[in-house]
Amino acid sequence: MRPKTLNFEQLVKENKQELLRNEKEVMQLEMRLEAKQAAMVEKKRNKV
């Protein structure tokens, strides 16, 4: 059975939703990276 074809507006809507999800995931990854970097800096400061 062939999948239902989507019209242009539906494709645009799906792509926007996917981009928003990806943007949220990237922001979460950036926040985790910043937290790890801050922890490393704090650890170095405490060693000195």
Handedness of CA 38, 41, 47, 48 (dihedral sign): negative
Place of tokens 């970097």: 37
Q: Is the pTM of this model over 0.95?
A: no
Q: What does the pLDDT look like over 9-40, one tens digit per residue?
A: 999 999 999 999 999 999 999 999 999 999 99
Half-sphere exposure of 1 (CA within 13 A, CB side): 2
CA distance linking residue 40 with residue 42, whole number of Å: 5
